[in-house]
């Protein structure tokens, strides 16, 4: 019984995320009401509040879903602790590029921009925030980088956190440029930029 309820909730969650993503991209976050999202997903507005807490919480879930592609593309690094810091950064950057290059970038950029606008307005009514929605991938990157071999020894956690924050900002900026068709738009240039940052922060 509990298993069936959990499976139903998961199906409802996925249906709402898919419906919200389509509507947010087509019409914009502010123009879409929760009634329209529920109707498109063939569910009730109560399901939105029950699963996500609010429309804004649903928006952050859409972003989490989009970031899932990057998480899946870079998961292999967790099973490759023998890679040096430089090789791990190179592999992560290439996988990140391929993930961004393989999705509807305009769709992701519009939704991310909507969420950033809400964050700048300071609306934290959903119990979460835009920062929370993008912090988890950065924390994963910290865990993937900490302890990697460098010329001066294993990378300390504090240095890994500083590098992860810088790399995350760099890659997000490059992603936006890529979506807009601005240079640099190839993985080799991304890797050179990422390795340059790594060398500067972790000589």
- Domains belonging to the chain, first-starting first, are 1-52 (1.10.10.60), 64-201 (1.10.357)
Residue 109: per-residue pLDDT: 67
> How distant, in Å, are the alpha carbons of 34, 54, 86, 87, 161 from that of 195?
44, 40, 7, 9, 16
Task: Give me the residues of the chain with pLDDT under 70, please.
Answer: 1, 102-110, 116-135
Residue 49: per-residue pLDDT: 94
- Helix 55-74 with 105-121: angle, nearest 10 deg: 130
For 52-111, the pLDDT digits (tens) are 998 988 988 888 787 777 788 888 888 899 999 999 999 999 988 887 776 566 666 667
By three-state DSSP, how is residue 154 classified?
Answer: strand
Residue 102: per-residue pLDDT: 66
Three-state SS string over 169-194 comes to HHHHHHHHHHHCCCCCCCHHHHHHHH
DSSP secondary structure string for all residues of 4-62: HHHHHHHHHHHHHHHHHHHHHHHH-TTT--HHHHHHHTTS-HHHHHHHHSSHHHHHHHH
Residue 103: per-residue pLDDT: 58
């Amino acid at each position: 019984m509990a298993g069936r309820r959990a499976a139903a909730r998961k199906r409802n969650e996925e249906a709402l995320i898919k419906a919200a993503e389509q509507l947010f991209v087509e019409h914009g976050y502010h123009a879409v009401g929760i009634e329209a999202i529920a109707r498109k997903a063939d569910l009730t507005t109560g399901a939105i509040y029950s699963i996500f807490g609010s429309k804004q919480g649903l928006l952050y879930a859409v972003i989490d879903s989009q970031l899932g592609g990057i998480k899946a593309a870079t998961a292999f690094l967790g099973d490759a602790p023998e890679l040096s810091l430089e090789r791990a950064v190179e592999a992560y950057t290439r996988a990140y590029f391929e993930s961004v290059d393989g999705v509807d970038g305009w769709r992701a950029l519009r939704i991310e921009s909507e969420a950033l606008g809400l964050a700048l307005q300071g609306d934290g009514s959903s119990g979460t925030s835009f920062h929370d929605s993008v912090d988890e991938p950065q924390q994963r990157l910290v865990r993937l980088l900490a302890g990697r071999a460098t010329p001066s020894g294993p990378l300390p956690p504090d240095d890994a956190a500083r590098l992860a924050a810088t790399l995350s900002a760099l890659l997000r900026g490059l992603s936006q440029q890529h979506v807009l068709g601005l240079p640099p738009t190839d993985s080799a240039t991304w890797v050179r930029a990422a390795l340059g940052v790594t060398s500067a922060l972790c000589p």
